[in-house]
Amino acid sequence: MTPTHERGGLGDVRRLAAVMRSLALHGNPDPALDRICALAARTFQVPMATVGFVGEDRVWVYGRHGVDYVEASARPGLCASAVLAPDVYLVTDATRHPLASRHPLVRGAPGVRFYAGAPITTADGFPVGTVAVMDTRPRQAGPDELATLRDLAAMVSGELELRRAALNLIDIEQEARGRAQAEAERFGQIAQMLQRSLLPARLPRVSGLDIADFYQPFSRDDVGGDFYDVFPIDANGRWGLFVGDVCGKGLAAASLTSLARYSLRAAAVIETDPGEVLADLNAALLLDPGSDDMNYCTAAYGQLERKGDGWRVSIAAGGHPPPMLLRAGGDVETVTTEGTILGCFPDQAYPAVSVDLGPGDTLLLYSDGFTDIRAGGEWLGVDGLAELLSDRPGGTAATVISVLEQAVESADEPVRDDLTALAVSVLPPQS
């Protein structure tokens, strides 16, 4: 018998409370979690994958691939054992496993023989569920596959915290909307807090790179539609970065931004080609049950890896302004990519372009708010932005962002859209 209320067991009341809080953050099914399952199944080349939350006597399946059940028994041997495991729980042949062999999913349909599950843990340390893959044939799992399963479980854990923070702030925002004009300032602060929850808290420090950002929402009283991030992809030193722009503002934009950021980061763990990462995002937006004619976004996504004294970046974009390369000598090049807007049409291709960055070179991703700046009586546009940046002082990401800030401050009229820019410069080797 599994202990029910032993400290740290399945019946631990604090753990069960954390499970209930986690369930409240997701719909069943959850398109984002379904996408995680599809990526996990593809990695292991197995027919089944689930994201489940484990209670005291049952498992609620909120993400699924290749299975149609929404609940399962929390008998020891599969998810109930994996959720309490310190690392990935692996069963190579369930019929020979002392616990798994008695599980209903092994003895009956679908006839599980292989199982691997990584625990999902909340920020305060409570194991609440698993990301699991299953097969009807016994098999082994390699270290890279198990590492990917750990990463996917960690991403679900991170998304739980993001959703919890966002939903808490959304509740406060909705309450504030019904109050009098005297609380307008407080409402603006709430919107800023929600906006911060959807953006990186800080940029990472990457050896050999200078990274700087600029973000200015159109309104301080509402959630903007732009989003961006820089994050490590793997232990081999590859980094991902993106700038995107979802349709709309406010709560709808916050929900779409959460789905887009989550899908991009999840796909980046699996896909090595940036075009495939955007194709996964396009599919995730189309699969969203809340999608409508306004459920779309644009994005530019790149992957960085070191190459000698410089870096190589592979970039793909979907309906987004072309990224720019600011060479150390002062030349500015636009990176031409082909890819339509995301979330509108199925089965789209997003070809990636690879370029090399040497010391002093800068890669700039930005939103269309910058091309809509009015200066000297005309819209700046892509060509005007490139010309402006060709006269930049110095060659670091910080100086590039400084030029953009000055352009915003000296504009003929107030900006009409959110402004987002992400600059990455290659530092000289001695730096």
The answer to the question of residue 151 being in a domain is yes
Spatial contact of 36 and 51, defined as CB atoms under 8 Å apart: yes
Scan for tokens 């409240």, then name that residue. Answer: 24
Domain extent, residue 362, equals 201-426
**Do both 318 and 374 map to the same domain?**
yes
Domain end position, chosen among 118, 138, 155: 155
The answer to the question of residue 22 being in a domain is yes
Reported pTM: 0.59
Would the pLDDT of 393 be above 50?
A: yes
Residues 63-81 have pLDDT tens digits of: 999 999 999 999 999 999 9
Would the pLDDT of 198 be above 80?
A: no
The answer to the question of residue 317 being in a domain is yes
Contacts (Cβ under 8 Å, ≥6 apart) of 147? none
Would the pLDDT of 15 be above 70?
A: yes
How far, in whole angstroms, is CA 273 from its chain's centroid? Answer: 16
Report the share of the chain in percent with pLDDT over 70.
85
Residues 302-349 have pLDDT tens digits of: 999 999 889 999 999 999 999 999 998 888 999 988 899 998 899 999
Q: How far apart are CA 265 and CA 240, in angstroms?
A: 8
Q: pLDDT value at position 374?
A: 83
Highest mean pLDDT (candidates 167-171, 200-204, 278-282, 335-339): 278-282
Spatial contact of 104 and 79, defined as CB atoms under 8 Å apart: no
Report the share of the chain in percent with pLDDT over 90.
58
- Residue 293 binned pLDDT confidence (cut-offs 50, 70, 90): low
**Do both 110 and 209 map to the same domain?**
no
The answer to the question of residue 161 being in a domain is no
**Cα angle: 65, vertex 71, 72; to 5 degrees:** 95
- Residue 53 binned pLDDT confidence (cut-offs 50, 70, 90): very high
The answer to the question of residue 189 being in a domain is no
**Do both 211 and 99 map to the same domain?**
no
Q: pLDDT value at position 416?
A: 77
Residue of higher predicted confidence among 301 and 195: 301
Strand partners, 298: 245
Q: pLDDT value at position 179?
A: 56
**Do both 80 and 228 map to the same domain?**
no
- Residue 4 binned pLDDT confidence (cut-offs 50, 70, 90): very low
Q: pLDDT value at position 353?
A: 96
Spatial contact of 218 and 211, defined as CB atoms under 8 Å apart: no
What is the 3 state secondary structure string of the chain? CCCCCCCCCCCCHHHHHHHHHHHCCCCCCCHHHHHHHHHHHHHHCCCEEEEEEECCCEEEEEEEECCCCCEEECCCCCHHHHCCCCCCEEECCHHHCCCHHHCHHHHCCCCCCEEEEEEEECCCCCEEEEEEEEECCCCCCCHHHHHHHHHHHHHHHHHHHHHHHHHHHHHHHHHHHCCCHHHHHHHHHHHHHHHHHCCCCCCCCCCCEEEEEEEECCCCCCCCCEEEEEEECCCCCCEEEEEEEECCCHHHHHHHHHHHHHHHHHHHHHCCCHHHHHHHHHHHHHHCCCCCCCCCEEEEEEEEEEECCEEEEEEEEECCCCCEEECCCCCEEECCCCCCCECCCCCCCCCCEEEEECCCCEEEEECCCCCCCEECCEECHHHHHHHHHHCCCCCCHHHHHHHHHHHHHCCCCCCCCCEEEEEEEECCCCC
**Do both 138 and 231 map to the same domain?**
no
CATH (domain of 69)? 3.30.450.40
CB 409: neighbour CB atoms within 10 A? 7
The answer to the question of residue 196 being in a domain is no
**Do both 346 and 253 map to the same domain?**
yes
Scan for tokens 């041997």, then name that residue. Answer: 77
Spatial contact of 152 and 118, defined as CB atoms under 8 Å apart: yes
Residues 123-179 have pLDDT tens digits of: 889 999 999 999 999 999 999 999 999 999 999 998 888 877 766 666 666 665 655
**Do both 216 and 299 map to the same domain?**
yes
Residues 211-256 have pLDDT tens digits of: 999 998 876 655 667 889 999 998 888 999 999 998 876 666 777 8
Lowest mean pLDDT among 16-25, 45-54, 77-86: 16-25
**Do both 414 and 287 map to the same domain?**
yes
**Do both 88 and 28 map to the same domain?**
yes
The answer to the question of residue 18 being in a domain is yes
Mean pLDDT of 277-281: 94
Q: How far apart are CA 336 and CA 324, in angstroms?
A: 9
Domain end position, chosen among 155, 184, 215: 155
Would the pLDDT of 359 be above 50?
A: yes
**Cα angle: 307, vertex 308, 310; to 5 degrees:** 65
Mean pLDDT of 49-73: 94
Mean confidence (pLDDT) of the chain? 86
CA-only gyration radius of the chain, Å: 23
Q: How far apart are CA 252 and CA 249, in angstroms?
A: 7
What are the strands of the beta sheet with 58-65, ordered from one edge?
Answer: 71-73, 58-65, 48-54, 127-135, 114-121, 89-91
Q: How far apart are CA 208 and CA 234, in angstroms?
A: 17
Q: How far apart are CA 279 and CA 230, in angstroms?
A: 19
Q: How many domains does the chain have?
A: 2
Mean pLDDT of 283-312: 85
Q: pLDDT value at position 410?
A: 85
Q: How far apart are CA 374 and CA 387, in angstroms?
A: 14
**Do both 238 and 309 map to the same domain?**
yes
Which structure tokens are listed for 321?
Answer: 């302004």
CATH (domain of 382)? 3.60.40.10
The answer to the question of residue 168 being in a domain is no
Q: pLDDT value at position 5?
A: 38
- Residue 56 binned pLDDT confidence (cut-offs 50, 70, 90): very high
**Do both 394 and 300 map to the same domain?**
yes
Domain end position, chosen among 123, 138, 155: 155
Residue of higher predicted confidence among 250 and 423: 423
**Do both 236 and 301 map to the same domain?**
yes
Q: How far apart are CA 396 and CA 389, in angstroms?
A: 12
